[in-house]
């Protein structure tokens, strides 16, 4: 499996065909997942290894993608660090007692791998069945901190930025504590069998480049440095990073993932020698087939797609996407 197109692309090597996988491919738009959600909430699915493995496998069998993403939730790490989280339909993660004072930062507990035995078992089940590489993942420290401080998803992240600017010492303690947990969390996934890991920073685009360099980048650099000896590809993805892409890419990783707000060609010129992942706008999947292929063709024409490139969306799979259209797109990209 080390010679799979996905892992070769992560390493910047020439591939026979363009590797494809999609963020949030496990769930949302697929019929098997929707059926399970009739009787299980998201957290119970992620914490039941047989079911989580089933959801992770579905896109491999149905769509023909080149890598599996572990079906989990980014809030599993905060839960393992003692935070009480409820995922509410139509809202997202909700925390009853957000971190709104420096004193509350100390309530985060040290992560231990025993608290995610279920996730390790899911990975072991998947490795026994998969014929494609398995990607583990974690939320990045800024994104996790934003949920812990806001108490729920936000469009502005004002509470998070205010805490960061008002209490820089407490902020750094919070980010360092989360970063320590992330390093061990991803090491645990790798030890269980994950063959690549991705750090998701969904909301860091809310910051200015200077704020990112000052308050976030040093912690992210430490995470990737802490994973270097694991000998698996490390992917770094965020949305809204066009204005800070050079800083965002200034970490020791193999792959940079970008969203649709920057052209793929421009992104490649700006990140240098690292491999690149992205960046079809998820809304494109809802367009007529001719529009999907034309948009894909324009994207692929901007780079050498058969060396150091992984085709993906610029963010998560939309729930409204038609699984047969997605399958058709995978076949189309494979045929390029």
Reported as a single tens digit per residue, the pLDDT across 26-56 is: 988 899 999 999 999 999 999 999 999 999 9
Task: Provide the token pair at 118.
Answer: 């279920």
Specify the pLDDT at position 28.
81
Count the domains in the chain.
1
The answer on pLDDT for 175 being more than 90 is yes
Reported as a single tens digit per residue, the pLDDT across 154-172 is: 989 999 999 999 999 999 9
Specify the pLDDT at position 1.
77
Specify the pLDDT at position 89.
84
Specify the pLDDT at position 83.
95
Reported as a single tens digit per residue, the pLDDT across 250-308 is: 999 999 999 999 999 999 999 999 999 999 999 999 999 999 999 999 999 999 999 99
Specify the pLDDT at position 258.
98
Read off the pLDDT of each residue in 197-206 and give the average, rounded to a whole number: 96
**Nearest in space to 66 (alpha carbons), one of 14, 5, 1:** 5
At 244, is the pLDDT very low, low, confident or very high (cuts 50, 70, 90)? very high
- The residues that are catalytic are 24, 28, 37, 73, 147
Reported as a single tens digit per residue, the pLDDT across 98-129 is: 999 999 999 899 999 999 999 999 999 999 99
Read off the pLDDT of each residue in 227-232 and give the average, rounded to a whole number: 97
Specify the pLDDT at position 107.
87
Specify the pLDDT at position 90.
82
Distance CA 326, CA 163 (A): 41
Specify the pLDDT at position 27.
81
Task: Provide the token pair at 40.
Answer: 């299980």
The answer on pLDDT for 173 being more than 90 is yes
Q: What's the whole-number average pLDDT of the chain?
A: 96
Reported as a single tens digit per residue, the pLDDT across 60-74 is: 999 999 999 999 999
Domain with 123 in it: 5-334
CATH code at position 41 = 3.20.20.210
Length of the chain, please? Answer: 336
């Amino acid at each position: 499996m080390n010679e799979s197109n996905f892992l070769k692309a992560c390493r910047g090597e020439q591939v026979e065909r363009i590797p494809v996988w999609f963020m949030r491919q496990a769930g949302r738009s697929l019929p098997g997942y929707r059926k399970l959600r009739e009787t299980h909430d998201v957290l119970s699915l992620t914490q039941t290894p047989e079911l989580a493995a089933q959801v992770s496998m579905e896109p491999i069998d149905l769509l023909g993608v080149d890598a599996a993403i572990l079906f989990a939730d980014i809030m599993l790490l905060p839960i393992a660090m003692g935070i009480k989280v409820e995922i509410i339909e139509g809202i997202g993660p909700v925390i009853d007692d957000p971190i709104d004072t420096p004193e509350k930062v100390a309530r985060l507990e040290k992560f231990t791998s025993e608290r995610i035995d279920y996730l390790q078992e899911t990975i072991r089940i998947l490795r026994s069945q998969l014929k494609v590489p398995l990607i583990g993942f974690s939320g990045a420290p800024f994104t996790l901190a934003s949920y812990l401080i806001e108490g729920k998803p936000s469009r502005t992240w004002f509470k998070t930025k205010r805490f960061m600017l008002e209490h820089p010492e407490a902020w750094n303690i919070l980010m360092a504590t989360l970063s320590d947990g992330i390093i061990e969390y991803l090491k645990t996934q790798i030890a269980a069998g994950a063959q690549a890991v991705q750090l998701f920073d969904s909301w860091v685009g809310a910051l200015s480049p200077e704020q990112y360099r000052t308050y976030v980048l040093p912690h992210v650099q430490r995470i990737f440095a802490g994973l270097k000896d694991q000998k698996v590809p490390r992917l770094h993805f965020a949305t809204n990073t066009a204005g800070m892409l050079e800083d965002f890419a200034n970490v020791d990783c193999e792959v940079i993932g970008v969203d649709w707000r920057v052209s793929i060609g421009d992104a490649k010129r700006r990140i240098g020698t690292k491999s690149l992942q992205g960046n079809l706008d998820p809304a494109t999947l809802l367009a007529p087939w001719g529009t999907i292929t034309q948009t894909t063709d324009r994207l692929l024409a901007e780079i050498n797609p058969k060396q150091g490139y992984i085709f993906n969306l610029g963010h998560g799979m939309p729930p409204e996407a038609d699984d047969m259209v997605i399958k058709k797109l995978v076949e189309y990209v494979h045929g390029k």
